[in-house]
Amino acid sequence: MRGSTEFPGPPAGDGHVISQGPYRLRWGDWRTVNIIQVHVHPAAIYEDQRQEALAQGRDPGGQMPPHFVLDGGMHETAQAILRHRQDEEALRQVNYLAALMEALVNTPCAILRTDLIRRVYQEVETLSNRLSLRWRGRAGHFLLPLNEDALNPQMLEQRVAPLDNLQEFFRTLKEIAAQRHQALAKSYVIYYPRQRGL
């Protein structure tokens, strides 16, 4: 099996690749409106099968690797990643803003039950304006998923809920966002539906 550093590169002129880094972003071959996120190992297998199918004149979209569907708030986060794909610092901030939103919406925390919540909303507003990132409708989750979330689905809550200091709250969410940014860059490929365009 390939290592993450051996992820298959495209042949010259392949319009399938949006970006090779900091995140691996590609156009999907499937008839779906969903953005999907695939771990690097099944994505590498799919990419090899894709090249074989194209070489044989077959439609490469016949099989879909195991994946996460990025819907709800995760869809907006993935769109921001596409928009800021060449700017690693902006990608870090997208993850941090998603972590802030995840904490606000899904995490019980003493800080969020005090007047300090206004400072958290100010931080969200500043980053939202800077990144042109806003979530609409019923956005249940904002951080892109990782396989290891299944092992500890309460990780964010466990780290954030006990905090009672605002600076520690921000620092902890920045650490979580940085860890997730590294994991996404190293271990995942995000596929976007072609019809949506850039």
Confidence category of residue 198, pLDDT binned at 50, 70, 90: very low
pLDDT of residue 193: 93
CA distance 124 to 98: 9
Residue with tokens 């907006």: 76
pLDDT of residue 138: 74
CA distance 35 to 42: 16
- Kind of pairing, strands 24-28 and 188-193? parallel
- pLDDT single digits (tens) 149-162: 988 888 899 999 99
CA distance 160 to 107: 7
Q: Let me know the angle formed at the C-alpha of 81 by 76 and 84, rounded to the nearest 5 degrees.
A: 125
pLDDT of residue 11: 60
Strand partners, 193: 28
- pLDDT single digits (tens) 3-40: 444 577 666 567 889 998 999 999 999 988 899 999 99
Q: Which of 54-63, 139-148, 183-192 has the highest mean pLDDT?
A: 183-192
Mean of the per-residue pLDDT values of the chain: 89
Looking at per-residue pLDDT, the higher value among 133 and 31 belongs to 133
pLDDT of residue 1: 40
Q: Let me know the angle formed at the C-alpha of 109 by 73 and 90, rounded to the nearest 5 degrees.
A: 40
Looking at per-residue pLDDT, the higher value among 80 and 138 belongs to 80
> Which sign does the torsion angle of CA 139, 142, 146, 150 carry?
negative
Does residue 184 sit in helix, strand or coil?
helix
Strand partners, 17: 26
CA distance 58 to 168: 54
The DSSP 8-state label assigned to residue 2 in this structure reads: -
